[in-house]
Structure 1
Amino acid sequence: MSWILLVVAGLLEVCWAIGLKYTEGFTRLVPSVLTVIALAASVGLLSIAARGLPIGTAYAVWVGIGALGAALLGIVLFHEPVTAARLFFLVLLFVAIVGLKFTGGGTH
């Protein structure tokens, strides 16, 4: 269950990271409120997941999911650059996240 919560927390991190772009510096009310809600839910779920996982593993996976998701959505939504090198390192990030899942331990 801890891993499921951690993945959901990571996906919510993607939501709030992308949401920051839409808040326009927290000058737009609805995107700002949704971003803050996603941020609070993400951190809350991370803290619950960390009960059953080593904090180093949980935090690294959470950040990794957020970074990978934000980078991919940045490419899709904001037409950020796509280069072979960038894609290579995003694949490495994915491999690191999966590797931490299988070597990170945890009780749940």
Structure 2
Amino acid sequence: MAWVYLGIAGLFECCWAIGLKYTEGFSKPVPSILTVAAMGISFWLLALAMKTIPVGTAYAIWTGIGAVGVAILGMFLFNESRDILRILCLLLIVCGIVGLKLVSSSPAAS
């Protein structure tokens, strides 16, 4: 279950990171409230995952999911660069996330 928590925490990290753009410096109430709520959920799920997943693995995967997710969302929502080298770099991050999952010594890994 810890890996499920971690995956969902990573998705909520994407939500709050993208939400920061929409808050316009926390000057818009609704996006600000939703962003802060997503932050809380993300951190809470990350903390639950860290009960069994090693901290370095959990944090690296959480930030990796967020980095890749936000970069992809930025391409679609904000018309950010879709350069092939950028996409290849994102694929390297995905390979790192998968690799960390595969070599994790967590009891929850099996």
- Give the TM bin, normalised by the shorter chain: over 0.9
Percent of aligned pairs with the same amino acid: 52
Q: What are the equivalent positions in structure 2 for 1:21-32 lying under 5 Å apart?
A: 21-32=21-32
What does 1:1-108 align with in structure 2 at a 5 Å threshold?
1-108=1-108
Moved beyond 6 Å, runs of 4+: none
Q: Residues of 2 paired with 1:47 and 1:33: CA distance?
A: 21
Residue segments in structure 1 that go unaligned for 5+ positions in a row = none
| 1:105 Cα deviation after fit | 2.2
Q: What is the TM-score normalised by the length of structure 2?
A: 0.96
Q: Aligned letter for 1:95?
A: C
1:2-38 Cα shifts (integer Å, max 9, x gaps): 0000000000000000000100110000000000000
Show structure 2 runs of 5+ residues with no match: none
**How many corresponding residue pairs?**
108
Per the normalisation by structure 1, the TM-score is 0.98
For residue 30 of structure 1, give the secondary structure of its aligned residue in structure 2: helix
Q: CA RMSD in A?
A: 0.6
* Distance in structure 2 (CA, Å) of the matches to 1:13 and 1:83: 24
Describe the superposition over 1:63-85 as per-residue Cα deviations: whole angstroms up to 9, x where unpaired. Answer: 00000000000001000011111
Q: Which amino acid aligns with 2:53?
A: L
In 2, distance between residues paired with 1:84 and 1:69? Answer: 16
